[in-house]
Amino acid sequence: MTRRLLLFFSILILAAVLVTRAQVLASPEQPVAFNHQIHAQAGVQCLFCHSSALRADIAGIPSMQKCMGCHTIIATDNVAVQVLTSYWKRKEPIPWVRVSWQPEFVYFSHQAHLRTGENCETCHGDVGRMPLTRPAVKMDMGWCLDCHLLQPEEKVVRLADCLTCHK
Amino acid sequence: MVMDANLSVETSRRWVLVVDLDRCTGCQACVVACHAENNVPVVGEKQAGYGRWMHWIIIQRYWEGEYPNVKARFMPVMCQQCTEAPCEPVCPVFATYHNEEGLNAQIYNRCIGTRFCGSACPYKVRTYNWYAPEFPEPLTEQLNPDVTVRTRGIMEKCTFCIQRIRRIEIDAHAAGRIPADGEIQPACVQTCPSNGLFFGNLDDPDSQVSQLARGRRSFRLLPELGTEPGVIYLKGGETNV
Amino acid sequence: MSMPKTITRREFLKIAAGASIATGFTSAVRSIVIEPFIYPPEEELPGQATWYASTCRQCAAGCGIIVRTIDGRAKKIEGNPLHPLNRGKLCARGQAGLQVLYNPDRLKNAVRQVGGRGSRQFEPFYWPDALDLLSSKIAALSSTERFAFLGGLMPSHTYRLTSLLLEALGAAPPVIYDLQSALEGRSAVSQLSQALFGAPDLPEYDLSQSDVVLSFGANLLETWMSPVAQSVAYGAMRQGSMGRRGLLVQFEPRLSSTAASADEWVPVQPGAEGFVALAIGRIIVEERLGHVGSHQSQAVLYQNVDVRDMSAASDVPVDTLRHLARVFADADRAVAIPGGYLSGQQNGFSSMLAVQALNLVIAQVGRQGGMFLSNPGPTAALRQNPPVNTFDEVMDLIRRMKAGEIDLLLLHSANPLYELPAAAGFFEAIARVPFVVSFSPVVDETAVWADLILPDHTYLESWGYQVPSPGADRPVVNSQQPVVSPLYDTLATSDVLLGLAARLGGKLAAALSWRDEASYLEETVSELHGSSLGAYSARTPSGFWALWRQYGGWWSEKQIRREPELTDIVQKPLLIAEPHFEGDPQDYPFHLYPYSSITLSDGRGANLPWLQETPDPMTTVQWGMWVEINPETAEGLGISDNDVVQVESPHGSMEASVVIYPGIRPDIVAIPVGQGHQDYGRFAQAVIGSNPMALVAPVTDPDTGALAWGATRVRLKPIGKKQVLARLESLDGNGRESLG
């Protein structure tokens, strides 16, 4: 009886882990159906909208004014753009749902990572081919260390130090 | 100091804090600066009365003698960042450990709140969150986003303002240089009105802290314990020559 | 998530697992909303700090600050490293300024009191209606003499606009009073400067270059005058140059934290500090001490002084006086400082004069390491700063209010019901005024008795300028700018005044013709543009306006110290009256010493949790309120630590727990000012305590009209109750705070 119960719970937990993982990597539902693929195909660079990635810890999401800089003219018949415009007219910020995030106890700097020559795609996946943005990887500590531990030996001491990322 | 092509400093840093007791006036500016910088919770009168205050830095006051020949001396005490830290080996989950720069680290999300480290600490500088911190709105706006807000059941202590060290290093790195001596200042050092606190690299023999540490006024707290603290005190009441 | 305490951890995990199965594991995925800016602020990167320079307004000193803001929210205040006064440094109160901005008990809009004054029932009031109502009240005054304005630590520009408004109306100028200024003797010091040097500007002491400092009751490392600038100088005096270490001697009946930092503490008989100064002067002149060739010109000052009499009156042995006179006169550079405690006596002015005269005797007036005068504002408009009125002038206003001669009272940054001695009768006086308006950002004790509260912005949301007084070693004008947008629907009082003038029209509109506060400031400040002294130069006025804000003010590039010129007052023998105290020594055996708290100052910091939680440096008490008495006195009365005593003066009484304090004269009872708030927000009201101003006799020094706050006698009565104070220090020495 106990053994059967144990088996049942093991399967349940395994299922839970799998479903959770699938959910973590799913694209969250957004208030505006923003399409990274179209923007990338149009030749818009990541840094055009996420302009502080090179200069600050946070890459930043573009201001509504920046969106409207193009969309007062471009693709005004698109449904998503019309939703954007309606937010703009009400002077309401779009409540975007975060796709990639780190817990509160983690310090992460986009600036520091881009400076070492990393690309956006290294962590965010091929966003330029994502009609709906989803996390490319589960950004947990093991995944961070996968990369940090592969660095030149003299850097690893620093890059594997807890205080480098834990705040 | 050795630098690689990317200007990252890979060698030899030993962060130390120097406390000049001849300059300390007991004014408490460091205490409030630390609260502001590190999201240190306020516990209120009742809990403070139980000794559950959360200050990362306190100014101890010692009376000497009797009226009218009485004196009071101040001594700021914060985590001594011991090289041989008694708090480290007792942590069952490795939440506290020593890093290569001489910092005694506390990793909050690892901490399970056994409080062994607090008991082991001879300087009694570790504080424990007996309750979840309260920040009535809009006091949450004062919180420093660079520092975790600790929750109930977590041990915490002075970090030498690791976030300020990291900030200056990243900014200096971005500007293609290494931080100058004295450029990195924990919040207490930054604000100290009488310039009684100094911060720097003890492994650099020319740094101000190294020079002060070599002076004859210098001493460390409870040296007989062999903890080799990273906080160096300078005796009050005499000149440096 | 909250859970009942009876559930064990194991049970909880089971329930949680079940719950997540039932809900399809949604709890595993978090949904975090991020909102973009609609219009991005200039120079602002998301998550990246932007620093704005401004001025600290936590006390009158005027330290330069820089404020770290992230995404439009202030996160940290630090000293402005460029500012000549505080040079990057800041005190505990300055650091706590964020909690003035983010105080949960701030008023969020204009309010009127609907349940009658004192009911504390407020209802939001639309700003234009509030201005209409107030202007109609002004217009309806039968005579403009029936209009009064009481201010405290007012911003300079608000003070000037108020003065212009009152002048155009033909009403009396604002009356300025605050407790901190009274405790540090601001008006008395200003009068002393006027008498000695023919200018009302405050002295500035060159501590950093001094070898010997005699501080007569000046708490220069705590709250007195410009504590941060003085602490910076103190640090340099101690260990600034190799091989030199300045000496500090503190004369004070209680070992304050300044006295604790001093090399010698001399517990003088209260009110007898001037006698010590006279004796030291007499010894110097008599024994021809020091570097000055002849003391002939000063001999006249001390011709009536008998050192033995002075020693007996002050309780300081003749040997000590001789020793100190030699140390003081023989030093290369020495300075004597008349502090706030002297001004709190009925012989305050003459005592302060005697102390200042010591600087003449050793020729340290206008000399390195000695005393200088603060530079006044560089332009006419910048010289119109809030003066501190004397207590006599405040009493005159109270008398007029009581007599029903005032119909409209406006209050700005003043909390007289808390800050005046209760015996001054402000409570009875305010009740007689038909309409009262407060500009306080929080409901303080006085605002409770207002009909209307028109909350001003807090200082991190405000514009302004300030000429620091005492000043630095060069001319300085601080700039103040909003570092964040106002959090709530508050309105700058200067804009209220301009709005009133526009509504009232005529002469008023002509006198206050600026469009808004910022345009007034831009115009006033532009007078500095083009000055050859400035540390920076701009080609255009708008360029200057930008740099003025970026630097946090304007100051001279080079050191320019103002050497005072002497008037003839110091050619007559110095005389000091015997100190008088309220209360018969038989009935009231102790002197009351109410002192400014290093954390709460005069009580304005009591609503900031950081400052409440911060231990008092000497007693290590947090959040509390206490009475300090000498161990011997305590033994005599059978009192031990934490016993509650009743402190009674001829004017009132209060209760508080006792702290047995080794560093205090046996005839002194010291109580910190700052607690005992009836209103002023949850953190101020959380502390059990009373306001020692209930005890203070409303008497003055007849020479200056300043409040003699140290001239009250009290008695102590244990009430047989204990109330344990929260202290960092444990009384058995086994607590967390002490080593070994």
Nearest to A97 among C25, C31, C48 (CB): C31
Neighbours of chain A (3+ CB pairs under 8 A): B, C
B196: closest CA of chain C, how far (Å): 7
Phi, psi of C654 (to 5 degrees): -155, 165
A17-30 confidence digits (pLDDT tens): 777 667 777 888 89
Residue with the two structure tokens 């970026």 = C550
Tell me the mean pLDDT in the region C44-66.
Answer: 93
Chain B hits for C65, Cβ within 8 Å: none
Tell me the mean pLDDT in the region C547-556.
Answer: 96
Residue C38 to residue A64, Cβ atoms within 8 A: yes
B195 at A interface, C-beta within 8 A: no
Tell me the mean pLDDT in the region C14-40.
Answer: 60
Nearest to A19 among C25, C37, C39 (CB): C25
**Nearest-10 crossing angle of helices C517-526, C156-169:** 100
DSSP C488-506: SS---HHHHHHHHHHHH-H
A17 at C interface, C-beta within 8 A: no
Strands (E), C556-651: 590-596, 626-629, 643-649
Q: Which of A137-141, C79-83, C476-480 has the lowest mean pLDDT?
A: A137-141
Tell me the mean pLDDT in the region C453-460.
Answer: 98
**Confidence grade of residue C293 (pLDDT, cut at 50, 70, 90):** low
Nearest to A105 among B6, B100, B109 (CB): B109
Neighbours of chain B (3+ CB pairs under 8 A): A, C
Tell me the mean pLDDT in the region B51-74.
Answer: 94
pLDDT at A127 over 50: yes
Residue C46 to residue A58, Cβ atoms within 8 A: yes
CB C668 within 8 A of CB C270: yes
pLDDT at C734 over 50: yes
d(CA B20, CA B17): 10
As assigned by CATH, the class of the C111-174+383-514 domain is alpha beta
B201-210 confidence digits (pLDDT tens): 999 999 999 9
C252-289 confidence digits (pLDDT tens): 999 999 999 999 999 999 999 999 999 999 999 999 88
* Residue of chain A whose Cα is closest to the Cα of B38: A167
Chain B hits for A154, Cβ within 8 Å: 4, 10
Average pLDDT, chain B: 92
Which DSSP category does C336 fall into? E
3 state DSSP class of C352:
helix
Q: Beta strand pairing status for C626-629 and C652-660?
A: parallel
Residue C104 to residue B191, Cβ atoms within 8 A: no
pLDDT at B239 over 80: no
d(CA A54, CA A159): 20
Q: Which of A129-143, C12-26, C162-176 has the lowest mean pLDDT?
A: C12-26
Strand order in the sheet with C334-338: C264-266, C247-251, C212-216, C334-338
* Residue of chain B whose Cα is closest to the Cα of C46: B145
Residue A105 to residue B108, Cβ atoms within 8 A: yes
Nearest to A167 among B10, B99, B147 (CB): B147
pLDDT at C29 over 60: no
Fold for the domain defined by C49-101: N-terminal domain of TfIIb (2.20.25)
Tell me the mean pLDDT in the region B58-70.
Answer: 94
Nearest to B142 among C75, C243, C738 (CB): C75
- Spatial neighbors of B187 by CB under 8 A, at least 6 apart, are B30, B33, B34, B36, B37, B38, B161, B164, C76
Chain A hits for C30, Cβ within 8 Å: 101
CB C472 within 8 A of CB C84: yes
End-to-end CA distance of chain B: 29
B15-33 confidence digits (pLDDT tens): 999 999 999 999 999 999 9
C69: closest CA of chain A, how far (Å): 14
d(CA C232, CA B194): 4
Q: Beta strand pairing status for C408-412 and C147-151?
A: parallel
Q: 71-130 in A: which are within 8 Å (CB) of B?
A: 103-105, 107, 109, 111-112, 115-116
Share of chain B above pLDDT 70, in %: 94
Nearest to B20 among C93, C239, C665 (CB): C239
B63 at C interface, C-beta within 8 A: yes
Tell me the CA distances in angstroms from B40 to A87, B43, C49, one per residue in order. Answer: 39, 10, 20
A153: closest CA of chain C, how far (Å): 31
- Spatial neighbors of C441 by CB under 8 A, at least 6 apart, are C100, C103, C106, C107, C455, C456, C457, C458, C490
Among residues B186, B143, B228, B188, the alpha carbon closest in space to that of B24 is found at B188
Strands (E), C223-340: 247-251, 264-266, 334-338
**Confidence grade of residue C24 (pLDDT, cut at 50, 70, 90):** very low
d(CA C83, CA C516): 28
* Residue of chain C whose Cα is closest to the Cα of A56: C48
Nearest to B97 among A115, A158, A162 (CB): A162
Confidence (pTM): 0.93
B209-230 confidence digits (pLDDT tens): 999 999 999 999 999 999 999 9
pLDDT value at residue C738: 61
Among residues C672, C619, C570, C569, the alpha carbon closest in space to that of C179 is found at C672
pLDDT at C18 over 60: no
Residue B174 to residue A115, Cβ atoms within 8 A: yes
B64: closest CA of chain C, how far (Å): 9
B168 at A interface, C-beta within 8 A: no
3 state DSSP class of B23:
coil
**Residues forming CATH 2.20.25.90 domain(s) in chain C:** 49-101
Average pLDDT, chain C: 92
- Complete domains list, chain B, with CATH: 15-234 (3.30.70.20)
Chain A hits for C32, Cβ within 8 Å: 97-98, 101
Tell me the mean pLDDT in the region C171-198.
Answer: 95
Interface-testing mutation among A87, A91, A97, with chain C (most C C-beta atoms within 10 A)? A97
Sign of CA dihedral C357, C358, C361, C364: negative
pLDDT at B2 over 50: no
Fold for the domain defined by C590-722: Barwin-like endoglucanases (2.40.40)
Share of chain B above pLDDT 90, in %: 89
**Confidence grade of residue A158 (pLDDT, cut at 50, 70, 90):** confident
Superfamily of domain C182-373: Dimethylsulfoxide Reductase, domain 2 (3.40.228.10)
Tell me the CA distances in angstroms from B150 to B45, B106, B141, C549, one per residue in order. Answer: 20, 11, 16, 36
**Confidence grade of residue A1 (pLDDT, cut at 50, 70, 90):** low
Chain A hits for C21, Cβ within 8 Å: 12, 16
Chain B hits for C730, Cβ within 8 Å: 51
Residue A23 to residue C33, Cβ atoms within 8 A: no
Nearest to B25 among C261, C726, C730 (CB): C261
**Confidence grade of residue C200 (pLDDT, cut at 50, 70, 90):** very high
C609-666 confidence digits (pLDDT tens): 999 999 999 999 999 999 999 999 999 999 999 999 999 999 999 999 999 999 999 9
B31: closest CA of chain C, how far (Å): 7
Tally C-beta pairs within 8 A across A and C.
Answer: 82
pLDDT at C243 over 90: no
| Distance from the Cα of residue B53 to its chain's centroid | 16
Chain B hits for C228, Cβ within 8 Å: 193
pLDDT at C7 over 50: no
Among residues C467, C524, C109, C730, the alpha carbon closest in space to that of B49 is found at C730
d(CA C493, CA C497): 6
Chain A hits for B107, Cβ within 8 Å: 162-163, 166
pLDDT value at residue B11: 55
pLDDT at C22 over 60: no
pLDDT at C120 over 80: yes
d(CA C82, CA C553): 10
**Confidence grade of residue C515 (pLDDT, cut at 50, 70, 90):** very high
**Residues forming CATH 3.40.50.740 domain(s) in chain C:** 111-174+383-514
**Confidence grade of residue C14 (pLDDT, cut at 50, 70, 90):** very low
**Residues forming CATH 3.40.228.10 domain(s) in chain C:** 182-373
Tally C-beta pairs within 8 A across B and C.
Answer: 223
A57 at C interface, C-beta within 8 A: yes
**Confidence grade of residue C417 (pLDDT, cut at 50, 70, 90):** very high
Chain A hits for B105, Cβ within 8 Å: 161-163, 166
CB crowding C602-618: b at 16 or more within 10 Å, else e: bbbbbbbbbbbbbbbbb
A108 at C interface, C-beta within 8 A: no
Nearest to B170 among A103, A111, A162 (CB): A111
- Residue type (1 letter), A39: H
C299-358 confidence digits (pLDDT tens): 899 999 999 999 999 999 999 999 999 999 999 999 999 999 999 999 999 999 999 999
Among residues B130, A83, B37, B212, the alpha carbon closest in space to that of C610 is found at B37
**Residues forming CATH 2.40.40.20 domain(s) in chain C:** 590-722
Beta bridge partners of C408: C147, C435
Residue A111 to residue B174, Cβ atoms within 8 A: yes
C346-405 confidence digits (pLDDT tens): 999 999 999 999 999 999 999 999 999 999 999 999 988 888 999 999 999 999 999 999
Residue C21 to residue A101, Cβ atoms within 8 A: no
pLDDT value at residue C737: 64
d(CA C737, CA C180): 31
